[in-house]
Amino acid sequence: MRRFLGILVILKYCICSDVHDFDGDIKDFVVGNSKLFVLTDHRLHQMRHDLTEEKSKDTKASEHNRVNILVPFDENSTLITCGTFNNGYCEVLDINDITNSIYYESDILIGPRQDEKSVAFISGTSSSKYLLVGKKDDDAKPRDTRYSVVTLLSTSQSQPGGIFSRMAEGSDAFIESTVRDVEFVDGFQRVSPSESYLFLNTKADSERKVLVLWMNSSKERKIEIIKSLQASRIRCCSDKARPVLVASTVIPSVNRVIWAGVFSAQNQQDPENSALALYDISHVKGRVKGFCHNGENTCGSESDTELQPLSVVFKYSSMSAVAAVRSGSWIVLFIGTSDGQLIKLVLDEKFTPGCPTVLFKSDDERKVFPRMHFDPVDFKHIYIALKKQLRRVSVVSCAKYITLKDCRAALDPLCGWCVNTHRCSTQEECLKSSWVSIPKDSLQKKLVSFQVWAEKSSNKITLHLSLSLESTGNPAFSCTFNTGTMNLCDGSDPPAVFPNCSCSFSVLSDQLQYTRGLPISAEVAVEDQKMTEMLMLKNCLNIKDNSQSASYTQCVQCVSSGCHWSSSSERCDWTLVPGEQLQTQDVCNGLFYEMEYKKPEILSLEPNKVSFHGRNNVLLRGRNLESVTKIRIQGDLECIPKESPVFDRSSDTLRFHIPPSGTKGTVKVCVVTPDDRCHGNSIITYSSQPSCTGIQPTVSWSSGGRKIHLQGSNLELVESVTVLPSNKVMKTQQYNTSSWDVWFVSVPYDGSGQFRLLLNVGNSTVDCVDYFSYKPDPEFTGFTTLQVANDLQVNIQKKADMLNLSMNEVTVTGLQGNQQYPCVLERIESNAIICKIKGESGHVPEVDSLTINIGNFSITLRKTTWNYRFVLILFYFIFLLIFLIFCILLLLFRRNIRSVFPVQWPL
């Protein structure tokens, strides 16, 4: 038994998941050195870094009680929590057991009273730690002109005023503002030197600003820290104003403080609504209007200090969070979005962005919580919160790259090729081996590049090959150059040294005269990893083109052949000396030939919102579309654009398919002409896949034609519905493109039973949780009419069924000869339908038949020729006949009685 219990204990602590779902929305979460703490609607959860829950504590949250401060104090092995209960409180918990309360104080409001943003973190030196809190002043009175916005609180009883006191030496330690509308977004403490930064949004006189507040937290006394206040305004960006800060992070740096902020223009329809910009905040100097430390006489001085971005590295419709790590000279950014994605973006030392990749994509539109945290143990995982869910997402996925070539193509500075283990891994996993990784300039270079130069005094040509790689060691490296089956090199070159090698050879002049040139195969080996590249060696002097766009095509051929293009003389020549090979896009831009055609225009796209599964048969309306050859789709998260052929065209319309996307967000659509230029700039939004939670109604009559409404989210993206196992496809419809009411019309089916529904989205399908079934057509047995005032009431008899007909599904028309009368439905009962034909000018209509239409089902009922009076007379006749028969039988019975029992007269 003990052995069994031991196994259970082991399983409990071994079974962990990278996803944890809570029973309430996540309000905040923080990561300590050894624990993770999650605050939900009603509880505080203590978890291990692998998301295994260890403890929970009821916070008694309600409308008047809310936890608003959650700060781990690792140096003190405590967790500080504050809330609004009992006019405010603060509690110090054991960081290893949150059910153990170390200190509790009531009647103290440190965090915001209302449900507003605030910032709190531990500030100060190793000997003097304080709790720094930035929040809007909820207790300000209407007559107040200054508001407390930043407070420095003691963290121990030995500090001035005791724990949680803002008292300093002679006065309170806080920063004031004359601006009432403030929103604190983020803040952090820099360790060396000890500096504190706070970032906030302000609004005064309808003008929004983003500010940074700086304090020298290396001071020992609280009042000295507060008095060191410096501030600057932060602006973003040059293309449009984005005056609201959404999220931010500090980027680890040695000599400078590089900070990244997500700024918003507050227009969610704009595909570039939010921008991620980098700033150097190493020297925040001066003041901003309306902010001062306690005790200053004036709070309105302002020096002209504004921070402009070093670089705007990414734009997107709805960024909501950002975090960063550094790997050598590289910066790796992790971006959360409002549509539930986690994006990875690499920057080189010049802040040039690489191609963004999506690490995680939710199936719905849950927003990524503004604060994301790394696992402090190895920084290989990042924690993100989405409503009620916490996820631990790996920031590296090196193992999925099988070869050195694939590992380098990922352009991920966190991944490299480990020579000894023969796999793509992080550098920490490759300590005793050469680790081959991408160099600083790899975003601008191909893996393999060639250069060719010739010696004028002879027919000798040198072919130089270079790999865009670097290594921590000296891996075995070799190059082999062949033409056909022959080795090309003459052996006069020095040995290959990683990552460069050369091949010199003599060539006859006529060998390079042919148009196609001399085909060369270069095989490069780095340890056991081999790569083969093909080069068509041409005589640089003879590279010419006689087409209309000769300059451009000749330039491309020249540069791609390893030759030198002279932009001044517009001719190709041999490279005279070895050097850095230029890229085609850097040399040949601007040499396009202007073809003559009417410039196409895009007027609209229908639809302009699709699932990430794509969409079939999209309609493009425009002008001058005859010359369009294909459609190009470029997304913010895709470096290589997608292209889609046109399958139906006219001068003003085109039809094409939108391919699926691995990401969500907006993409730009343009039309391509024969000169490969793209015209137009329309927007299509990729969103989450549809979700079907049910249908209404769930049954159809066998003749079909019933409107079945889908229930769920993003249903406007559904193209059709497939009924299984019959595989019948039904096209979906909606009132308009902005309507949420989406339905399909059932098809005829002679049978019964339950059927599954599949939603067709692009070339993918999504299951619907509800089932669909067929029932027999409704059965009507007749009708009667009754005059009611000047109208004719029609009572239609029907058999009870399980169809649950609605008023808008049934159409009844009365017929009298060639005259038709619409019958307005009043109610539907289980065995009857009642409708009324309106009389006109005092005339009560008569009908001799009815036509009933329900979807594809139709029936005509004819009125019986017997009238009501005849039926009544017949009823009376039958009643009299029964009465007469009863009387006759009664008389016969009495006679029989008398014959059997004769009457005896008394004597």
Fold category of 17-115 in CATH: Thrombin, subunit H (2.40.10)
* Counts for the chain of helices (H) and strands (E), in that order: 6, 67
> What phi and psi values does residue 125 have, to the nearest 5 degrees?
-95, 175
**pLDDT score of 578:** 58
Mean pLDDT of 728-740: 70
First-to-last C-alpha distance (Å) of the chain: 109
CATH number assigned to the domain covering 780-862: 2.60.40.10
For residues 374 and 667, the model is more confident at 374
Round to whole Å and give the CA distance between 518 and 510.
11
**pLDDT score of 16:** 45
Which residues does residue 686 pair with via DSSP β-bridges, in sequence order?
A: 610, 665
**pLDDT score of 3:** 42
pLDDT bucket at 63, cuts 50 / 70 / 90: low
Which residues does residue 649 pair with via DSSP β-bridges, in sequence order?
A: 654
Round to whole Å and give the CA distance between 227 and 447.
54
**pLDDT score of 197:** 97
Does the pLDDT of residue 822 top 90, yes or no?
yes
Does the pLDDT of residue 41 top 70, yes or no?
yes
**pLDDT score of 4:** 39
pLDDT bucket at 739, cuts 50 / 70 / 90: low
Q: Is 580 exposed, middle or buried (0-12, 13-18, 19+ CB in 10 A)?
A: exposed
Does the pLDDT of residue 161 top 80, yes or no?
yes
Does the pLDDT of residue 859 top 50, yes or no?
yes
What confidence tens digit (pLDDT) does each residue in 668-710 have? 999 998 877 889 989 898 888 898 999 999 999 999 999 999 9
Instruction: Report yes or no: 110 and 153 within 8 Å, Cβ to Cβ.
Output: yes
Does the pLDDT of residue 622 top 90, yes or no?
yes
Domain 691-775 classified CATH 3.40.920.10?
Answer: no
**pLDDT score of 830:** 92
pLDDT bucket at 235, cuts 50 / 70 / 90: very high
The bridge status of strand 230-234 relative to strand 306-307 is: parallel
Q: What is the DSSP letter of 398?
A: G
Where do we find the tokens 């975003």? Answer: 443
**pLDDT score of 343:** 95
What confidence tens digit (pLDDT) does each residue in 496-554 have? 999 999 999 887 655 555 446 788 899 999 999 999 998 888 778 777 765 555 677 77
What confidence tens digit (pLDDT) does each residue in 400-437 have? 999 999 999 999 999 999 999 999 999 999 988 999 99
Does the pLDDT of residue 665 top 50, yes or no?
yes
Round to whole Å and give the CA distance between 541 and 564.
10
pLDDT bucket at 600, cuts 50 / 70 / 90: very high
Instruction: Report yes or no: 211 and 222 within 8 Å, Cβ to Cβ.
Output: no
Domain 442-537 classified CATH 1.10.10.60?
Answer: no
pLDDT bucket at 461, cuts 50 / 70 / 90: confident
Does the pLDDT of residue 1 top 50, yes or no?
no
pLDDT bucket at 7, cuts 50 / 70 / 90: very low
Mean pLDDT of 219-246: 93
Does the pLDDT of residue 582 top 60, yes or no?
no
Does the pLDDT of residue 638 top 90, yes or no?
no
Round to whole Å and give the CA distance between 675 and 678.
9
Mean pLDDT of 103-131: 90
How many residues does the structure list for the chain? 907
**pLDDT score of 5:** 39
Domain boundaries, the chain: 17-115, 442-537, 601-687, 691-775, 780-862, 869-901
Which pair of tokens denotes residue 603?
A: 């007027």
Round to whole Å and give the CA distance between 86 and 455.
89
**pLDDT score of 9:** 37
pTM of the model: 0.79
Mean pLDDT of 882-897: 81
Question: Hey, which CATH number is domain 601-687, 2.60.40.10, 3.20.20.80, 3.40.50.1980, 3.20.20.70?
Answer: 2.60.40.10
Instruction: Report yes or no: 202 and 213 within 8 Å, Cβ to Cβ.
Output: no
Mean pLDDT of 38-45: 92
Does the pLDDT of residue 61 top 70, yes or no?
no
**pLDDT score of 518:** 81
Does the pLDDT of residue 342 top 80, yes or no?
yes
Does the pLDDT of residue 227 top 50, yes or no?
yes
Where do we find the tokens 């690490």? Answer: 359
Does the pLDDT of residue 601 top 80, yes or no?
yes
**pLDDT score of 586:** 61
**pLDDT score of 595:** 59
Residues sharing a CB contact under 8 Å with residue 636, sequence separation 6 or more, in sequence order: 271, 314, 315, 316, 356, 665, 666, 667
Round to whole Å and give the CA distance between 894 and 165.
115
% of the chain with per-residue pLDDT over 70 = 91
Neighbours of 824 (CB within 10 A): 13
Q: Which region among 72-86, 317-331, 666-680 has the lowest average model confidence (pLDDT)?
A: 666-680
What SS3 state is found at 279?
A: strand
What angle (nearest 5°) sits at the alpha carbon of residue 630, between those of residues 625 and 631?
Answer: 90
What confidence tens digit (pLDDT) does each residue in 261-314 have? 999 999 988 888 999 999 999 999 888 988 998 888 888 677 767 999 999 999
Where do we find the tokens 């299984």? Answer: 724
Round to whole Å and give the CA distance between 369 and 889.
94
- Indicate if 442-537 has the same CATH topology as 17-115: no
What SS3 state is found at 523?
A: strand
**pLDDT score of 514:** 45
Round to whole Å and give the CA distance between 438 and 430.
15
Does the pLDDT of residue 345 top 90, yes or no?
yes
Q: What is the DSSP string of 350-393?
A: T--B---EEEEE-SS-PPBPS--EE-TTTS-EEEEEETTEEEEE
Q: Is 510 exposed, middle or buried (0-12, 13-18, 19+ CB in 10 A)?
A: exposed
What SS3 state is found at 885?
A: helix
The per-residue pLDDT of the chain, averaged, comes to 87
